[in-house]
Amino acid sequence: MYKENLKYIKDKLKDNFDVQYRDIFSKSGLVTIIFSENISDNIFISEYIVKPVMSTNIELSDINTIKTRILQTNNVSETNNLDEALIHILSGDVIILFEFLDGVIYCDAKKTVQRAVDKPLNDPVIKGSQEGFNESLNMNIGLIRKRVRNTMLKIVYFEVGKESNTSVAMAYIEGKAEGSLINMIKDKISNLEVQFILDTNYIEEELKCKGTELDTIGYTEKPDIVVSRLFEGRVAVLVDGCPTAITAPCFFIEYFQAPDDYYLNKNVVDVLRIFRIISFLVTITLPAFYVALFTHHFSLIPPTFVFKISEARAGVPFPTIVEVIIILFFFELSREAGKRLPSNIGQPLSIVSALILGDAAIGAGLASQGTIIIMGVYAITSYINPKLLTVTPIWSMINVIMSGLFGLHGFYIFFIVVIAHIGSLDSCGYKYFWPFGTIHSYGVRHKDYLTRGRLGNISDSIFRRKEK
C-alpha cells in the first residue's frame, strides 16, 4: 500500500520542482514526508514533525498513537483519499506516509506569507478605522473576529473551483441574518460550477441581479464596514487571494453613504448625503438638459443668456449634441487612461489632459465655452460618488442622445425608464430601491437612508421578524 500510494502521488505531482519528498528512518521503519517548499514552513516541519518522528522511542504501532503522542502540531488529521491528500500538499500542508502502516496523515504547516494590514485603497476615510483587508483569507477573518467577540458570529468555509480548490468563507451573525438569505447564498456558493476562482466577482455574478449595470451586491475593503453590515443582518463572503468582501443584500441608497459617515457628526453627514444625491442627479442630467434646451427648446432660455451663448457658439461646426458627445467621450477616455496608470500620476494626468483638451477645443473653435463649463461641472460631480463611476457615464450618454433626439420629452422618458429599472431590481430577494417605490417595507426596517439615524438606533438588524 505504501509503495502504491507514493507512486500515485509522485505520478500526479511530477514536473513540480517545489514538491519535496523526505525519507526518515524511524524506530518502526521508513516514513516519507511530502510537502511543497514554497508554501510550507520548512522550519516548522523540521522542528515539529521531522525531529519528533526521528527521535521518539515510542513504537509507531498505529496512526492514532502518532497523531496524539508524536506529532507536535495543532491540526493533525487522517485520510485514505489520495486525491484529498494531493489538495492538502498543494495547500501548504504536510503529508506523511508510513511503510509499516496503512493510511495517510496530513498536518497544517502553511507558510504565512501575506501583505501587511494597510489602508484600504478604494475606501479612504477622513476619520475612523484605517485597517483594510489584504489577500490572506485567514487574516481577513481575524480582522472580523477582532471586532466581533461573539459566539453568534458564524464562519462557513467552502472550497470552490474544480481545479483551483480556492478557500471561500461566508460570514453571518446567527439571530440577525434571515435563514432564507443564509441558505440561498450557501446554495449559490456550493453549486458554483467553475474551473477556478480568483476573486469575489465570480460569486457576485451568481448572486447579483442580471441585466443591469448597477451593483446589486455590496463590496468593501474595510472590516469595520463588513462588521456593521453583519450586525444589520446581512451576509458577507470573502475569497482567499482577494482583498474585497462582498455583502448581501445591498440597496441603491448605499451609493450615497460613505465609509466615514458613522464616525463624523450626524448633522454634517446629513448635509453631505444630500450633496451626494444632488451631485448624482446633476451628473446624469446636466449635459442632457443643456442639449435639450439648445437643440429643441431655445425659447425657454432667458434672452440675456441666449445672446451670450449664441455669440460663444459662433463658428462651432458641430450641433450641440455632437459637441457634448465628443467632449464626454474624450473626458471618459482620459479618465480611463488615468485609472490604468500608477495612482501618483494617473489622477493628475486625467485632470491636466482634460484642461488641455478643453482649452484647445475652445481655441480651435471646436467647442463653445458654455459646453466646456457644463462638462466641467459634470466631471466634478461624477467624482463625488466614485462607486457610481461605472454607471454615470453610460446613463449620461444615453440621456444626452435621448434629449438631443426628442428634447425634454426624451429627457423625461429617460428619467421614467431609469426609475422603473431601479425599482424592478432586487438584491437576494429584497427590493433594491428600498425604501422608495415600495408599498410596504418588505420586512426591512427604515432606519438609515437619506439621513443617518442615531448610532444607537441603527446598530440592530435591518430585517423585521414576525412576532411569535
Looking at residue 437, what is its pLDDT? 58
Closest CA to 332 of 378, 374, 366: 378
Looking at residue 443, what is its pLDDT? 54
Query: For 298-302, 360-364, 414-418, which range has the lowest pLDDT when averaged over its residues?
Result: 360-364
Looking at residue 190, what is its pLDDT? 92
The confidence band for 465, taking pLDDT boundaries of 50, 70 and 90, is low
Give per-residue burial for 4-18: e unless 16+ CB within 10 Å, then b: ebbeebeeebeeeee
Euclidean distance between CA atoms 249 and 28, whole angstroms:
57
- pLDDT one-digit tens code per residue, 190-210: 999 899 999 999 999 999 988
- Specify whether the CB–CB gap between 24 and 33 falls below 8 A: yes
- pLDDT one-digit tens code per residue, 81-111: 999 999 999 888 999 998 888 889 999 888 8
Q: Is 463 helix (H, G, I), strand (E, B) or coil?
A: strand
Residue 63 has pLDDT above 90, yes or no: no
Residue 244 has pLDDT above 60, yes or no: yes
The confidence band for 468, taking pLDDT boundaries of 50, 70 and 90, is very low
| Set of cell numbers at residue 83 | 486525491
Helix (H) or strand (E) holding 3: helix 2-12
| Set of cell numbers at residue 220 | 468593501
Q: Half-sphere exposure (CA, 13 Å, Cβ side) for 325? A: 14
Residue 358 has pLDDT above 50, yes or no: yes
Looking at residue 429, what is its pLDDT? 86
Percent of the chain exceeding pLDDT 90 equals: 37
Which parts of 201-285 are beta strand (E)?
218-220, 235-239, 245-248
Residue 148 has pLDDT above 80, yes or no: yes
- pLDDT one-digit tens code per residue, 419-431: 999 989 999 888 8
Residue 156 has pLDDT above 90, yes or no: yes
How large is the angle between the packed helices 320-340 and 343-363, nearest 10 degrees?
A: 160
| Mean of pLDDT values over 133-154 | 91
Give this prediction's pTM: 0.82
Looking at residue 320, what is its pLDDT? 86
Residue that wins the pLDDT comparison between 235 and 269: 235
| Set of cell numbers at residue 152 | 453568534
- pLDDT one-digit tens code per residue, 386-440: 889 889 999 999 999 999 999 999 999 999 999 999 989 999 888 888 777 555 4
What residues does each domain of the chain span?
A: 2-107, 137-250, 264-424
Residue 300 has pLDDT above 60, yes or no: yes
Question: What's the mean per-residue pLDDT of the chain?
Answer: 86
